[in-house]
């Protein structure tokens, strides 16, 4: 089973986390199952970008992009070359290192 290392996030995972998940588990589901409450405003159907993560290691092993994932990612706060929607990206055989951005588009709106 691939191991997911979650980098520390001030609110969601202050100490970071490390856990294993079965292959094909979405990163969003994996985070929730391990007590990391990443936002998922659209109910994990790939329509909001609040579940945006940056996959620092293992990016190439993830499932391919969904039909509209790249369009939704364009709206994510802090988009980077290794960004994915965590509800659409499923773990493959390789270990992953995941960074949860400091803000989602929901948080960014609250600050503005
Ligand atoms: S939960 Fe909305 S795009 Fe992932």
Task: Measure 32 CA to ligand 1 centroid, in angstroms.
Answer: 13
pLDDT tens-digit profile of 42-92? Answer: 999 999 999 999 999 999 999 999 888 999 999 998 999 999 999 999 999
pTM for this model (two decimals): 0.92
Is ligand 1 within 6 A of the CB of residue 51? yes
Q: How far apart are CA 8 and CA 107, in angstroms?
A: 18
CA distances from 103 to 92, 100, 110 (A): 26, 8, 10
The confidence band for 103, taking pLDDT boundaries of 50, 70 and 90, is confident
Is ligand 1 within 6 A of the CB of residue 40? yes
pLDDT of residue 107: 60
pLDDT tens-digit profile of 26-37? Answer: 999 999 999 999
Task: Measure 38 CA to ligand 1 centroid, in angstroms.
Answer: 10
Is ligand 1 within 6 A of the CB of residue 48? yes
Residue in 32, 37, 50 to alter for ligand 1 test, most ligand atoms within 8 A of Cβ: 50
Tokens of 106: 């929901």
SS3 string, the chain, reads CCEEEECCECCCECCCEEEECCCCCEHHHHHHHCCCCCCCCCCCCCCCCCCEEEEEECHHHCCCCCCCHHHHHCCCCCCCCCEEECCCCECCCCCEEEECCCCCHHHHHHHC
């Amino acid at each position: 089973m691939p191991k997911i290392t979650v980098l520390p996030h001030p609110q969601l995972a202050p100490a970071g986390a490390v856990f294993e998940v079965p292959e094909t588990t979405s990163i969003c589901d994996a985070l929730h199952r391990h007590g990391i409450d990443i936002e998922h405003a659209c109910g994990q159907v790939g329509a909001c970008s609040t579940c945006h993560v940056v996959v620092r290691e293992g990016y190439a092993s993830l499932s391919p992009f969904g039909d509209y994932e790249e369009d939704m990612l364009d709206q994510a706060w802090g988009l980077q070359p290794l960004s994915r929607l965590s509800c659409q990206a499923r773990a493959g055989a390789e270990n992953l290192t995941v960074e949860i951005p400091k803000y989602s588009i929901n948080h960014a709106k609250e600050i503005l």
